[in-house]
Amino acid sequence: MTIEFSSDKISRDVSLNWNVNVGLTKKGVREIVILDAKAIRFVSSAAPADESRSRR
């Protein structure tokens, strides 16, 4: 699952733990990526997966 806050270019990626990454710009947070969101029950298993979307 990717939550985007802006379209600015990412200058640095930070891994908070095994399944959460934060993409940072010079101005702040661009995106938060939660890997395997279903496994931690952040997303319902009934939610459609958007496999066609690229990360950047």
CA 34, chain centre distance (Å): 5
The pLDDT tens digits of the residues spanning 19-43 come to 899 999 999 999 999 887 676 666 6
- From residue 47, alpha-carbon distances to 2, 6, 18, 44, 55 in Å are 14, 24, 22, 5, 19
Structure tokens at 8: 């600015």
pLDDT at residue 20 in the model: 92
Task: Tell me if 30 sits within 8 A of 23, measured CB to CB.
Answer: yes
Within 10 Å of residue 30's Cβ, how many Cβ atoms?
A: 21
pLDDT at residue 10 in the model: 96
Looking at every residue in the chain, the average pLDDT score rounds to: 80
Task: Tell me if 25 sits within 8 A of 8, measured CB to CB.
Answer: yes
